[in-house]
Amino acid sequence: MNAKYSHTNLIVEDWQAVARFYQNVFGCKPVPPERHFKGTDLDRGTGIHGAELDGVHLRLPGYDDHGPTLEIFRYNLLEPRSTTAVNRPGYGHIAFEVDNVEEARDTVLNAGGKSVGEIVTLTVSSGAKVTWCYVTDPEGNVIELQSWS
C-alpha cells in the first residue's frame, strides 16, 4: 500500500466559529468548497440515519497547496461531549510548532481558548529541549503548542 497523510477531522458544535479560530490564531487557510452533505450515501457511510454535515477543510500552516488539512465538520446529530482530558484513549490533540510558546498561548487564550496545563520544558534523549503546553480551542479540543531548542 502507498499512503499519504491527508487530513484530521474535528467534529464541533459551531464549525464556522471554530474554523475562524484556527484561521485567526494559526493562519490556517480555507480549501474550497465548503462541504454540505446529507442523504442515503452519507447515512450509509456514517452509519447514522438522517445524518447531515456541514463544514470546511483548512490548510495547515507551513505546507503548500497540497499539504494536509484540518477538516472541521458539524453533524446535525451530535453525541454529548465528554470533559476535556489529555489522557483519554484515542486521538488526543493536534500540535502546532510556534516561535514562542508563551506568546502563542496568550493568543489562544485571548481568542477564546482555555489553558489545560502549565508551560514546561522537557529534554529528550538527544539533548534537544522542547518547550510546550496544552491549551484548547473554544469548544474544548486539545491543542499542543511547542517550540524546540
Q: How does pLDDT run across 111-124, given as a tens digit for each residue?
A: 999 999 999 999 99
Q: How does pLDDT run across 31-66, given as a tens digit for each residue?
A: 999 999 999 999 999 999 999 999 999 999 999 999
In contact, 104 and 145? CB cutoff 8 Å:
yes
pLDDT above 90: residue 70 = yes
Average the pLDDT over 3-18 and give the result: 95
Find all residues with CB under 8 Å of 104, minimum gap 6, and list them: 96, 98, 145
Task: Report the predicted TM-score, pTM, of the whole model to 2 decimal places.
Answer: 0.91
- Which residue segments constitute the domains of the chain, with CATH numbers given? 7-75 (3.10.180.10), 94-148 (3.10.180.10)
